[in-house]
Amino acid sequence: MSYNLLKGKRGIIFGALDANSIAWKTAERVFEEGGTFVLTNAPIAMRMGQIDELAKKTNSEIIPADATNIEDLENLVAKATEILGGKLDFVLHSIGMSVNVRKGKHYTDQNYDWTAKGWDVSAVSFHKTMQTLYKQDAMNEWGSIVALTYMASQRVFPNYNDMADNKAYLESIARSFGYFFGRDKKVRVNTISQSPTATTAGQGVKGFDDFISYADKMSPLGNATALDCANYTVSLFSDLTKRVTLQNLYNDGGFSNMGVSDALIEKFSE
């Protein structure tokens, strides 16, 4: 169902890999709501994924960019405004990666070169993206920038490894940069803290399936899906949320306010 919430709005969507990814679902929903955008991902991710299919489906162009590389970002922003015919109204940062997780390094035994790489990709890239947008004055007033995060930034989830630290840093960047973006350009910056979601990235975390089922039993409304997250993001890109900024917004079926649920107690008393 479309409400035309993003009619005439232009933006950039980072991180669509395949049909399971939140960025992919968000691109589909933004397109349905009348928004136009360019898609971007790192060249290696583009080789692994099916982003061409999404581009066709949403009449979008793809601009490859390494989000940790300032030159790539400058090129991305300049080209996006040229292709779309003006300044941007929305940006989705939906990228994260931990080499330590990928290579099975425990949190107590990190390879710090890998830690730095993951931190750059998952968190600092958000600062680099916003700094580039800010310096190029590429956002329209009342524009909206959203990054995706996870509850492990605030509480302990043992297998989330150094990604927990990356997400905490990402959320801090959203607040700190969001202040200046709001004050100087009337642009809002928020993070969405999403339920564990069965994406290609999520499935790299050890014990992930059990964890999804735990979170689902803990949450009164059950886990939020990738589509739920896409819909929430659309609302944050729309003019209906003009004064919402510097927030970390939970889209998690209520998980973040739960101590324990009946369903979990029942499971343990079996």
231-262 tens-digit pLDDT = 999 999 999 999 999 999 999 999 999 999 99
| Inter-helix orientation angle 22-32/226-237, to 10° | 50
Cα distances (angstroms) measured from residue 110 to each of 115, 117, 170 = 7, 12, 20
Cα distance between residue 171 and residue 193, in whole Å = 9
Indicate which residue of 3, 112, 160, 179 is catalytic: 160
* Per-residue pLDDT tens digits for 154-188: 999 999 999 999 999 999 999 999 999 999 999 99
The span from the CA of 232 to the CA of 147, in Å, is 12
> Which tokens hold the place of 246?
């510097």
Q: Is 150 noted as a catalytic residue in this protein?
A: yes
Q: Which residue(s) pair with 13 in the sheet?
A: 39, 92
Output the known binding site.
15, 21-22, 95, 167
Is position 160 annotated as part of the catalytic site?
yes
Helical (H) or strand (E) element with 190 = strand 188-194
Half-sphere exposure of 56 (CA within 13 A, CB side): 4
pLDDT digits (tens, 9 = 90+) for 124-157: 999 999 999 999 999 999 999 999 999 999 999 9
Q: How far apart are alpha carbons 198 and 208 in whole angstroms?
A: 8
The pLDDT confidence band at residue 199, using thresholds 50, 70 and 90, is confident
Evaluate if residue 225 carries a pLDDT over 80.
yes
- Rounded distance between C-alpha atoms, residue 99 and residue 97, angstroms: 7
In this predicted structure, the answer to whether residue 74 has a pLDDT above a threshold of 90 is yes
Cα(231)–Cα(225) distance, integer angstroms: 10
Q: Is 73 exposed, middle or buried (0-12, 13-18, 19+ CB in 10 A)?
A: buried
Tell me what the mean pLDDT of segment 206-227 comes to.
93
Q: Which fold has domain 10-269?
A: Rossmann fold (3.40.50)
pLDDT at 45: 84
Annotated binding residues for NAD(+), written as ranges, equal 15, 21-22, 95, 167
| Tens of pLDDT, residues 16-55 | 999 999 999 999 999 999 999 999 999 988 888 899 999 9
- Among residues 112, 134, 150, 179, which one is catalytic? 150
Q: Is the pTM of this model over 0.85?
A: yes
